[in-house]
């Protein structure tokens, strides 16, 4: 079974631009979560989607948004990019047969904002 896939793997943008990242979960998984990893703040939760609904949200500004499609694929969007948005963005998926279960992570998208 294929793992979690993320596209693109690398991205370079300039301040003020917007970006859209994509995540395809493991087949059959209904939950998709997004995380940001930076050297200063570590790994931080952005949001989780389950059955096309946002189930959880972290403490990030409204410039960060996401959505989930009927096939469970998810996208996250960052508008008006800032230098501090440079980070590794990781996506995770889970079956969510119960309320919470094993999360499997994708390879990440490395975003550089110039």
Binding interface with another protein (CB under 8 A): 31, 33, 35, 37, 42-45, 48, 50, 55-56, 58, 88, 90, 92, 94, 96, 99-108, 110
Sign of CA dihedral 22, 63, 66, 94: positive
Please, what is the minimum distance in Å from the beta carbon of residue 17 to another protein?
Answer: 23
- Other CB atoms within a 10 A radius of the CB of residue 77 amount to 13
Strand pairing class (87-94; 109-113) = antiparallel
Please, what is the minimum distance in Å from the beta carbon of residue 103 to another protein?
Answer: 6
Asked if 78 contacts 18 with a C-beta cutoff of 8 angstroms, the reply is yes
Please, what is the minimum distance in Å from the beta carbon of residue 16 to another protein?
Answer: 26
Nearest alpha-carbon partner for 113 in 35, 9, 18: 18
Give, as one character, the DSSP assignment of residue 102.
-
- Other CB atoms within a 10 A radius of the CB of residue 81 amount to 19
Which residue, 20 or 88, has its beta carbon nearer to another protein? Answer: 88
Which residue, 56 or 80, has its beta carbon nearer to another protein? Answer: 56
Please, what is the minimum distance in Å from the beta carbon of residue 42 to another protein?
Answer: 6
Which residue, 5 or 79, has its beta carbon nearer to another protein? Answer: 5
Which residue, 44 or 79, has its beta carbon nearer to another protein? Answer: 44
């Amino acid at each position: 079974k294929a793992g979690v896939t993320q596209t693109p793997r690398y991205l370079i943008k300039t301040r003020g631009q917007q970006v859209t990242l994509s995540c395809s979960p493991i087949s059959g998984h209904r939950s998709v979560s997004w995380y940001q990893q930076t050297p200063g703040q570590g790994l931080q939760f952005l949001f989780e989607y389950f059955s096309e609904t946002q189930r959880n949200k972290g403490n990030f500004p409204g410039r960060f948004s996401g959505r989930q499609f009927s096939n469970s694929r998810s996208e996250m969007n960052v508008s008006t990019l800032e230098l501090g948005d440079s980070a590794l963005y990781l996506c995770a998926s889970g079956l969510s047969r119960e309320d919470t279960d094993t999360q499997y992570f994708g390879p990440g998208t490395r975003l550089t904002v110039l």
